[in-house]
Structure 1
Amino acid sequence: MNLYTWKTEAAAKQAFEAAKRGDYETVVRLIDHSFNTEDCDEEGNSLLHYAAVGKNQKLVKYLVERCRMDPTWANQSMCTPYDLAEGTPLEEYFKGVCGFSREECYRNPVLRGMHPDPSIVRVGEDYYMVNSSFLFFPCIPISHSRDLIHWETIGYGITDEKWAEEHLGKLEGGRGFWAPDISCHNGRFYICATLRNNDDAAFIQTQMVTSSHNPAGPYETPVIHNVLGIDPSIFTDDDGKRYMLINRGARIMEISEDGKELLSLPELIWYGHSGHAPEGPHLIKKDGYYYCFLAEGGTGKGHMITVARSENLYGPYVNCPYNPIMHQWDEMGAIQCCGHGKPVETPDGRWFMVYLCSRFIDGTYGMLGRETCLDEITWTADGWPVVNGRKGPSYMAPLPFPYESGKPASCKAGDGWLSPRTRDSSRVRTEKDGTLWIRGDGLDLCCRECSSLLVKFQPDFCYRAEFEMWIPDEEKEEYTSDGGVTLYYDENTYIKFGVTKNEVFVSEYVDNAYVRTESKEYSFEGRVLFRVETDGLNRTFLLNNKILWRWTDVTSICSEGLIKGKRFTGAAYGVYVNGSNLLCWRQHGKI
């Protein structure tokens, strides 16, 4: 779809209004003479969205069957014409066209909020996935599913606080663990990832390997290989030999069975389809061919997945004639930046691809960071894989497997709270009843050494975070801290909404300075209720259910909010203490 231009605006608005009225003759006349069916409005609504509101089935059928408009194409709010038809006769028509009901489908992204760089492996009927964690601890979340759609975090690749402090403690925001891969060999699970260090390190890129008999862990103390490159993955050939792949393009080196030793130097086997930023290599073997998958085009809107194949591990590899096999072709699509994928085969012989994507506010602000999508792979008659028929990401697609609503995917690991770099258990703890306890370390959130905060990643563009905060009775007389809720990206950009003994305030920190602060007198007597409501770029701050401030165009808490270093994560929310007091929180309601 394309946003209408000044040349096409008049015809587009006429067509949209006519479709909304259900005026079949006017819409058909405009299509015949002046309206382009690829045009959409500023919110991404297509002509079919308006027609679904108008409920003229003859018009809807004309647009779908004659103009080939898609009932599952989503606007910027992820709403489709199929959704707008709910409860009308059109819903049954769309069910016949799409081949699935609204209850029998899933929607991308399948993992929302920051879940970048997915890697997946299947063992029996169980699927395991890892995503990048960057500087956040515990590191490298491991998720489990039985149906590829409903996922639960069951563990983490790194949970040793001291090890994390040693390796992550001095790193700048956005560094840490990039693009992990999970694989299984002889009943043991292997996770590898790039440990991206600061630019002044002896090795700015190193490769980490760890393993466990249990997919949820605990995992062994990682081994670090000082090999430059990013996005490692492990491939085991039919003869049992094991290899690690890293970028640029796909470079391959033989490794020991346990992954702790490198047995050869990296050797390039395929540089990619486009030649632009080839990374994220993965290998599979199928029907006598080695298939090499890459992420190309950079991580912006040029991102894509490509593939090549060879009958020999070291090549030469033949470029797929259908490349890129996944790319968002539509500039107005709500899901963008599709790439960095890994395929997985189901027990019944079907194939699916997990891959990263981004969603944007106003086409600019990727507040949520990169998320995880899923689409089916089909194999062409000449043996090539294509994802979702090369149509780009799906917004609605049939469930891969029937979902058993009463059956959880697995047991959750912990409570989901994360800390930057590491966690000091003597200062921070979480209880089974949901209570969070933090003893301040005297450091503000701009300090890399600060450990007196806990965060989770923002799940969507619109959400509400509500916390009750109190001081234990024995601490009240000596309260000298400020504490409360934080909207957090990294040490360079964040917002604090907190209380001192005598005031309540909200303050925004951007690039070495607090750039705006508002405050009111307030007598904090030991217990208070914070609420922050987020609607896109707008934030509303409430104390004890009273609105204190509304901020619009808050752009700092996202990747695009500051040009500095490596800003690859996403917006988070949580709680903090700045001072030395002990404070307690309990989260209220659903996010």
Structure 2
Amino acid sequence: MNLYTSKTEAVAKKAFEAAGNGDYETVVHLIDHSFNTEDCDEKGNSLLHYAVLGKNQKLVKYLVERCKMDPAWANQSMCTPYDLAAGTPLEDYIKGVCGFSLGECYRNPVLRGMHPDPSIVRVGEDYYMVNSSFVIFPCIPISHSKDLVHWKTIGYAVTDEKWAKKYLGNLESGRGFWAPDISYHNGRFYICATLRNNDDAPFIQTQMVTSSDEPAGPYGTPVIHNVLGIDPSIFTDDDGKRYMLVNRGARIMEISEDGTKLLSLPELIWYGHSGHAPEGPHLLKKDGYYYCFLAEGGTGKGHMISVARSRKLYGPYENCPYNPIMHQWDEMGAIQCCGHGKPVETPDGRWFMVYLCSRFIDGTWGMTGRETCLDEITWTLDGWPLVNGRKGPSYMAPVPFPEKSGKVISRIGQSVWFTPRTRDITRVRTGEDGILWIRGDGLDLCSRQCQSLLIQFQPDFGFYAEFEMWIPGEETNEFTSDAGMTLYYDENTYIKFGVTKNLVFVTEYVNNAYVRTKSMKFDFQGRVLFGVETDGLNRTFLLNNEILWRWTDVTSICSEGLTKGKRFTGAAYGVYVNGSNLLCWRQHSKI
């Protein structure tokens, strides 16, 4: 879809109005003579959105059957014409077109909030996925699913505070663990990832390998290989030999069975379809072919997935004639930047791809970071895989295993609290009763060494978070610092909404300075209730259920909010202490 231009605006608005009024003749006339059905409005609503609201079934059928408009195409708010038809006579018609009911579909992204660079493996009827964590601790979340749609975090690949402090403790934000891969071999799970160091390190890119006989862990002490490249993955051939792939393109090297030793130097087997930023290599062997999958085009709106194949492991590899096999062709699509994927086969012989994507507020601000999508792979008669029929990402699709609906855990929950780089357990802990304990370390959030905060990643563009804060009864020290909630991206951009002994304030930090602050007198008596409501770029700050301030255009706490270093994580929220006091929090609600 395309936003109408100044030349087509008048005709488009006339067509939208006619469709909304159910005016079949006018809409058909405009389509015949001047209106382009690819045009949509500023909010991404297509002509079919308006036609469904107009409730003229003849017009809806004309747009779907003659003009081939998709009732499962989403506007910028992720609403489809199918959604708008719910509860009307049009719902049954669209169900027949789509082949699934509204209750028998899933919505992309399947993992929302910061879940970039997915890798997946199936063992029996269980699926396991890992995602990048950068400098966040605990590191590299491991998720489990029975149906590919509903996921629950079950563990982390790196949980040793001392190890994390040694390897992550001084890293700039955006470095750390990039693009992990999970695989299974001889009863053991293997996770590898790039450990991206600062640019002044002896090796700026290294490859980490760890393993466990249980998918949730605990995993062993990681082994670090000083090999330049990113996005490692492990492939096991039919003869039992094991290999690691890294970029650029797909470079392959033999490794020991346990992944702790490198047995050869990296050798290029395929550089990709486009030649632009080829990364994220994965190998799959099927029907006598080695299929090599790559992410290409950079992680912006040019992102894509391509594939090549060969009868021999080291090639030469033949480019797929249908490349790229996944790409968002639609500039107005609500889901963008689709790439970096890995295929998985289901027990019944079907194939699916998990891949990363981004969603943007106003087409610009990727507040939630990169997320995880799922789409089915079909194989052409000449043996090539196509993701979602090469149509780009789906917004809604039939659930892969309808018989398991209602028997699986709902969308992933965030029960774990994170800290940047590592965790000082003498200062920060979480209780079984849900209470969070933080003793300040005297450092503000702009310091890389600050450990006196706990965060979770923003789950969507709209949500509400509320925390009660108090000084424990046994704490006798005077409250001499500030403490409260934080809206956090990294040490370079964040917002603090907090209290001191006699003030309540909200302040925004951007690139070495606090750039705007609001404050008012407040008498802190040892207990207070913070609340922050998020609606796109707007944030509302509440203290003890009273609205104090509303800020619009809060753009700093997302990847696009500042050009500095590596910024491709996601917005977070949480609680902090700046000073030396011990304080407690209880999270009341989140939507």
Bin for the TM-score computed over the shorter chain: over 0.9
Task: Write the mapping of 1:171-570 to structure 2, written as runs, cut at 5 A.
Answer: 171-402=171-402, 404=404, 407-409=407-409, 415-475=415-475, 478-570=478-570
Aligned CA distance change for structure 1 residues 434 and 408 (closer, same or farther; 3 Å): farther
Please name the residue that 1:572 is paired with: 572
- In 1: Cα distance, 2:208 partner to 2:574 partner: 29
On the 8 A contact 2:72/2:396 being kept in 1, the answer is: yes
Please name the residue that 2:75 is paired with: 75
Please name the residue that 1:56 is paired with: 56
Paired positions, count: 591
Identity %: 85
On the 8 A contact 2:354/2:374 being kept in 1, the answer is: yes
Q: List per-residue Cα deviations over 1:290-342 (Å, max 9, x = no partner).
A: 00000000000000000000000000000000000000000000000000000
SS of residue matched to 2:165: helix
RMSD, aligned CA? 1.2
On the 8 A contact 1:108/1:374 being kept in 2, the answer is: yes
Please name the residue that 2:139 is paired with: 139
Is structure 2 residue 158 aligned with structure 1 residue 154? no
- In 2: Cα distance, 1:230 partner to 1:173 partner: 17
- In 2: Cα distance, 1:231 partner to 1:397 partner: 29
Q: Which amino acid aligns with 2:164?
A: A
- In 2: Cα distance, 1:407 partner to 1:425 partner: 37
SS of residue matched to 2:590: coil
- In 2: Cα distance, 1:475 partner to 1:144 partner: 41
Please name the residue that 1:38 is paired with: 38
Q: Which amino acid aligns with 1:155?
A: G
Superposition deviation, residue 410 in structure 1: 10
- Which deviates the most, 467-476 or 12-21? 467-476
On the 8 A contact 2:243/2:253 being kept in 1, the answer is: yes
- In 2: Cα distance, 1:409 partner to 1:583 partner: 33
Aligned CA distance change for structure 1 residues 33 and 411 (closer, same or farther; 3 Å): closer
SS of residue matched to 1:512: coil
Superposition deviation, residue 590 in structure 1: 2.8
- Which deviates the most, 221-230 or 400-409? 400-409
Q: List per-residue Cα deviations over 1:341-379 (Å, max 9, x = no partner).
A: 000000000000000000001111111100000000000
- In 1: Cα distance, 2:285 partner to 2:404 partner: 32
Q: Which amino acid aligns with 1:364?
A: T
Superposition deviation, residue 415 in structure 1: 2.5
Aligned CA distance change for structure 1 residues 411 and 562 (closer, same or farther; 3 Å): closer
Superposition deviation, residue 416 in structure 1: 1.7
Q: Which amino acid aligns with 1:189?
A: F
On the 8 A contact 1:145/1:410 being kept in 2, the answer is: no
Superposition deviation, residue 446 in structure 1: 0.4
SS of residue matched to 1:344: strand
Aligned CA distance change for structure 1 residues 507 and 414 (closer, same or farther; 3 Å): closer
Q: Which amino acid aligns with 1:565?
A: G
Superposition deviation, residue 481 in structure 1: 1.4
Q: List per-residue Cα deviations over 1:100-128 (Å, max 9, x = no partner).
A: 00000000000000000000000000000
Q: Which amino acid aligns with 1:376?
A: E
Q: List per-residue Cα deviations over 1:167-225 (Å, max 9, x = no partner).
A: 00000000000000000000100000000000000000000000000000000000000
Q: Which amino acid aligns with 1:19?
A: A
Q: Structure 2, unaligned stretches of length 5 or more? A: none
On the 8 A contact 2:533/2:541 being kept in 1, the answer is: yes
SS of residue matched to 2:103: helix
Is structure 2 residue 130 aligned with structure 1 residue 127? no
SS of residue matched to 1:589: strand
Q: Which amino acid aligns with 2:585?
A: W
Structure 1 length normalisation: TM-score? 0.99
Superposition deviation, residue 412 in structure 1: 8.9
SS of residue matched to 2:217: coil
SS of residue matched to 1:474: coil
SS of residue matched to 1:229: coil
On the 8 A contact 1:174/1:567 being kept in 2, the answer is: yes
Q: Which amino acid aligns with 2:179?
A: A
On the 8 A contact 2:477/2:581 being kept in 1, the answer is: no
- In 1: Cα distance, 2:32 partner to 2:476 partner: 74
Please name the residue that 2:85 is paired with: 85
SS of residue matched to 1:65: helix
Superposition deviation, residue 411 in structure 1: 13
On the 8 A contact 2:375/2:393 being kept in 1, the answer is: yes
Please name the residue that 1:10 is paired with: 10
On the 8 A contact 2:505/2:518 being kept in 1, the answer is: yes
On the 8 A contact 2:121/2:184 being kept in 1, the answer is: yes
SS of residue matched to 1:218: coil
Q: Which amino acid aligns with 2:457?
A: F
- Which deviates the most, 271-280 or 360-369? 360-369
Superposition deviation, residue 406 in structure 1: 5.0
SS of residue matched to 1:291: strand
On the 8 A contact 1:169/1:422 being kept in 2, the answer is: yes
On the 8 A contact 1:180/1:194 being kept in 2, the answer is: yes
Please name the residue that 2:24 is paired with: 24
- In 2: Cα distance, 1:27 partner to 1:130 partner: 48
- In 1: Cα distance, 2:162 partner to 2:200 partner: 22
On the 8 A contact 2:197/2:205 being kept in 1, the answer is: yes
Q: List per-residue Cα deviations over 1:516-574 (Å, max 9, x = no partner).
A: 11100000101111110111111110101111111110110000000000001000000
Q: Which amino acid aligns with 1:87?
A: G
SS of residue matched to 1:28: helix
Q: Structure 1, unaligned stretches of length 5 or more? A: none
- Which deviates the most, 414-423 or 124-133? 414-423
SS of residue matched to 1:94: helix
- Which deviates the most, 261-270 or 540-549? 540-549
- In 2: Cα distance, 1:409 partner to 1:357 partner: 23
Superposition deviation, residue 2 in structure 1: 0.2
- In 1: Cα distance, 2:62 partner to 2:417 partner: 50
